[in-house]
Amino acid sequence: MHDQVIDPAGHDAPGPACGRPDELRVPLPSPAEITTLGAARAAIDGLDAALAVLLERRAAVAAVVQRLKPVGGFAGRDPGREREIVAAMAERAPSLGPERLARIMAAVIEAGLDAAESP
C-alpha cells in the first residue's frame, strides 16, 4: 500500500491531501498488498475521506447546474444525462459495472438535488 498522505491542514484522521483548495491528491491503496484488518480499514478510511470531499464538491457543482437549467431540482431531472454519467463511469470502473453504478449514482444525484433544495 502507498504511504498515507498527511493532510497539510493538520487533521489526524487519514485523509486526502488538500495542498490547495482546488486540488485533491489521494494515494490509491493496492488491495493485493493489504494483509491485515487494520490496514484494510485504514485504507477504506482514506478512500472514504476522499469520497466525502468529492461528494461535497459534486453536490455544490450540481447545485449550480440547478440554477442554470430552465427547470432545476427534482422537477428537471434528466434520465438521459444520468445514463451518460453512468456509462462514462462504467468505463472507468468496469468491475462495478453499469447496474451497480446506476444505483450508486442515483443516490448521489438525489442527495445533491436534496442538498440544493435545503442547503
- Residues 76/117, Cβ–Cβ less than 8 Å: no
Mark 75-109 as b/e (b = at least 16 C-beta within 10 Å). eeeeeeeeeebbeebbeeeeeeebeebbeebeebb
- Count of helix runs (H) and strand runs (E) in the chain: 3, 0
**109 is an interface residue for ligand PRE by CB under 6 A:** yes
Q: What string marks each residue from 19 to 58 as x (binds ligand PRE by CB under 6 A) or -? A: ----------------------------------------
Q: Is 112 in the site for ligand PRE (CB under 6 A)?
A: yes
Q: Is the CB of residue 17 less than 8 Å from the CB of residue 8?
A: yes
Task: Write down the least CB distance from residue 21 to ligand PRE, Å.
Answer: 22
We find the least distance from the C-beta atom of residue 35 to ligand PRE, in angstroms, to be: 38
Q: Is 2 in the site for ligand PRE (CB under 6 A)?
A: no
Point out which residues bind ligand PRE (CB under 6 A).
62, 65-66, 69, 77-78, 81-82, 85, 109, 112-113
